[in-house]
Amino acid sequence: MKVNWKPGTMIYPLPAVLVSCGSSIEQSNLLTVAWTGTICTNPAMCYISVRPERFSYPMIRETMEFTLNLTTEALAHATDWCGVRSGRDYNKWKETGLTPVEGVAVSCPYIKESPLSIECRVKTIMPLGSHDMFIAEVVNVIADEGLIDPTTGAFDLASAGLINYSHGQYFTQGEPIGRFGWTVKKK
């Protein structure tokens, strides 16, 4: 039997990412975002949705840049902590022990401990209600060398141990059940 539920955002799981923003390492902050995703392949584009009252919101709006840092089980504590504490009150880099590294294609830093950091430039800000959506073009990706097979050049993000967020909880990822196209692969 099915029941009607109140309208809401029930599309789970989502990636739990740490977003770094600001004009420099010294003038930067971290915030946890689960409202994020891919929106275009060519050009590579993604989005984050952020409440205007968040401490990081004016930093992103001013610089029109941010970096998505994918999170792992080892980063779960910092991911949650950065989501419930404000940069108005804490230096999140210092409090979490995460290491800021100067951005390559953007002014904001990326997180050294993240297996994959995606540097983005905002193209459009779309007010939606409780959140504004920052639609951005990916301008650089910084990946741990250990995720790239030196022989084939294949990228193995599945081995990074990423976490996701589902309706108020964080989860590790489960076992793979198939590869894209497995249902039509010739035997």
114 lies in which domain range?
14-172
Residue 180 placed within a domain: no
- What is the pLDDT at residue 98? 98
Q: What is the pLDDT of residues 126-138, one digit of tens each?
A: 999 999 999 999 9
Q: Give me 134's structure tokens.
A: 């920052």
Tell me if 81 is assigned to some domain. yes
Is the predicted pLDDT of residue 187 greater than 80, yes or no? Answer: no
E-strand ranges in the chain read 14-15, 17-22, 28-33, 36-40, 45-50, 65-70, 100-101, 110-111, 116-127, 132-143, 163-166, 169-172
Count CA atoms closer than 13 A to 8's CA, side-chain side: 6
Per-residue confidence (pLDDT) for residue 185, from 0 to 100? 85
CA distances from 82 to 13, 112, 122, 152 (A): 19, 16, 22, 37
Mean pLDDT of 6-10: 85
Q: How many domains does the chain have?
A: 1
- State the DSSP code for 152: T
The reported pLDDT for the residue numbered 7 is 87
On whether residue 179 sits in a domain, the answer given is: no
Letter for the amino acid at 40?
Answer: C
Residue 4 domain-assigned? Answer: no
> Considering the domain boundaries, does residue 38 fall inside one?
yes
Residue 186 lies in a domain: no
Going by C-beta distance under 8 Å and a sequence separation of 6 or more, which residues neighbour residue 168?
none
The CATH number covering residue 47 comes to 2.30.110.10
Q: Is position 187 within any domain?
A: no
- pLDDT tens digits, one per residue of 14-34: 999 999 999 999 999 999 999
What is the rounded CA–CA span in Å between residue 98 and residue 105?
20
Question: In the 8-state DSSP scheme, what is residue 148?
Answer: B
Terminal alpha carbon distance of the chain:
39
- pTM for this model (two decimals): 0.94
Residue 145 inside a domain? The answer is yes
Alpha helices in 12-154 (DSSP H): 57-63, 76-84, 92-96
Task: Give the count of beta carbons closer than 10 Å to the beta carbon of residue 142.
Answer: 19
What is the band of 11 on the pLDDT scale with cuts at 50, 70, 90? confident
